[in-house]
Amino acid sequence: MNRIQSMADWVDRARAVLPAAGFGNFDASMVIARGQGASVWDEDGTRYVDYLIGSGPMLLGHGHPEVMEAVLEQLPLGMTFFANNTKGIELAEAIVAAVPCCEQVRFVTSGGEADMYALRLARAYTGKPKILKFEGGYHGMSAEAQMSLAPSRPVNFPTPVPDSAGIPQGVADQMLIAPFNDLDAVAGLLAEHGDIAAIIVEPLQRIIPAKPGFLQGLRDLCDRYEVLLIFDEIVTGFRLAYGGAQERFGVTPDIVTLGKIIGGGFPLAALGASAQIMAHFDKAAVGAENWLMQLGTLSGNPVAAAAGLKTMEVLRRPGQYDTLRATGQRLMDIMTDALSAHGILHRVTGDPTLFDIYFTAGDPVDYRSARHDDPRRNEVWNAALRSHGVFKSPGKVYPSLALTEADLAQTAEAVRQAARAVARL
């Protein structure tokens, strides 16, 4: 029998076979053993209240019994086919029914893949080459998306800054960068550049809310200049509301990308638009010269589709989003009360369904203003939360519907301890 290994042992093993000892997603010193509900346990057996929840997809919590049942019903029927299957078709129907801009969808495996195809689709439909994105906006790992995601130094707009090695200058030449929440800057770029195919935007940029009227302003500008508007709703889809940001804010884009929650914890994402735009995936409809080739071994995987369908069914039940928002607001208030008690300057930024703290006196409105006055405060804050049993990313809190009163009480105590730690700096 193999001896039980500690988390440190697993980190050593990872270091030998994984670059930087990890998968590239999260702190490589953490090795998670299992999850249940709103809890995860590491390989040392330490339990945490989970506010990472897989970076968003586990809105119902880990191991939700109805989702598990749906998956177990599908597994003996087949795990993947590289062909149409009924669960995938049913999931497409559910997405079209829920998301205002969708008449048709195409499945892929990851959100980054969906964003990549959305940009290519916009270019195919408009015949124009350039893409406008916002500084700090996250749209996956494609070459276009890695432009000005997290530039370490400010440059003049609209110059793009590559955030990764291996990206050719030709990609930068087709990208324009604007500050989030600045309609005047967008209007100026659209007036100057007549070859923009699309604007891609997160309706909630990381955790920075759009100013009132900003999203509708983008819609109006896109209509005026015949540019497509892409909402990246990988995160906000089925989180801000059942119909995502489109439902929440009443603004309908031309193309949407979806992921995370629609896979119910399994690898699945999608992009959707009108049938006219989506026709570019149909060679018979648009001809070889206008056809957008897209295929993937696991696209529309029936196990992922079954999990997504059941997750969406649960989310449609009355009161789910009221509960999620009320829970998120309680967490926001817990953090505000604890930090304010010590006179610590901060801003709770985001939406009750997705937010975090900035240790600053001003309201973050774009990438350059979304800064901690003293980054050490955020480091100490997050380290103290983890040491008291709260598991989260360094820059986001994802509330879930699995949180219990006991989880919230544990979180409140961890927050109080973390506020004391920050106050001692």
| Same domain for 137 and 217 | yes
Strand order in the sheet with 32-36: 32-36, 39-42, 47-50, 390-391
Regarding whether 387 and 362 lie in a shared domain, the answer is yes
Q: Does 242 reside within a domain?
A: yes
Q: What is the pLDDT of residue 47?
A: 98
CATH number reported for the structural domain that contains residue 114 in this entry: 3.40.640.10
d(CA 397, CA 52): 7
355 in the same domain as 283: no
Q: Are residues 177 and 165 in the same domain?
A: yes
Give a yes or no: residue 13 inside a domain: no
Q: Is residue 9 part of a domain?
A: no
Note whether 305 and 331 are same-domain residues: no
Write down the pLDDT at residue 1.
42
Question: Does 127 map to a domain?
Answer: yes
What gap in Å lies between CA 326 and CA 332, rounded to an integer? 10
Instruction: Write b or e for each residue in 20-50: b if 16 or more Cβ atoms lie within 10 A of its Cβ, otherwise e.
Output: ebbeeeeebebbbeebebbbbbbbeeeebbb
275 and 346 belong to one structural domain: no
Q: Domain containing 344: what range?
A: 31-53+319-423
Which stretches within 250-374 are classed as H helix? 275-278, 283-286, 302-315, 320-341
Q: What is residue 259's predicted lDDT score, i.e. its pLDDT?
A: 97
Tell me how many degrees the CA angle 376-379-381 measures, rounded to the nearest 5: 105
**156, part of any domain:** yes
Per-10-residue mean pLDDT, the chain, length 425: 79 96 93 97 97 97 98 97 97 98 98 98 98 97 95 93 94 97 98 98 98 98 98 98 97 98 97 98 97 95 98 98 98 98 97 98 96 96 98 96 98 98 97
Domain of 362: which CATH number? Answer: 3.90.1150.10
Catalytic residues: 138, 232, 260
Verify that 137 and 253 share a domain, yes or no.
yes
Residue where a domain stops, chosen among 296, 315, 334: 315
330 and 187 share one domain = no
Question: How much is the pLDDT for 11?
Answer: 95
**Nearest-angstrom CA–CA distance, 134 and 162:** 13
Which one of 315, 335, 360 terminates a domain? 315
* Counts for the chain of helices (H) and strands (E), in that order: 14, 15
Task: Judge whether 23 lies within some domain.
Answer: no
User: 48 has which bridge partners?
Assistant: 40
Query: Is 299 within the bounds of a domain?
Result: yes
Do residue 306 and residue 400 come from a single domain? no
One domain for residues 256 and 343: no
pLDDT at 2: 55
Output phi, psi for 129, to 5 deg: -95, -25
- In a domain, residue 68? The reply is no
Longest dimension (CA), the chain: 70
Locate all alpha helices (DSSP H) within 75-137, ordered by sequence.
86-98, 111-126
Count of domains forming the chain: 2
Same domain (yes/no): 258, 396: no
Which letter, b or e, does each residue of 335-353 get, where b requires 16 or more Cβ atoms within 10 Å of its Cβ?
Answer: beebbeeeebebbbbbbbb
Residues 190, 293, single domain; the answer is yes
Q: What's the pLDDT tens digit per position in 361-419?
A: 999 999 999 999 999 999 999 999 999 999 999 999 999 999 999 999 999 999 999 99
Q: Give the end of a domain, one of 258, 288, 315.
A: 315
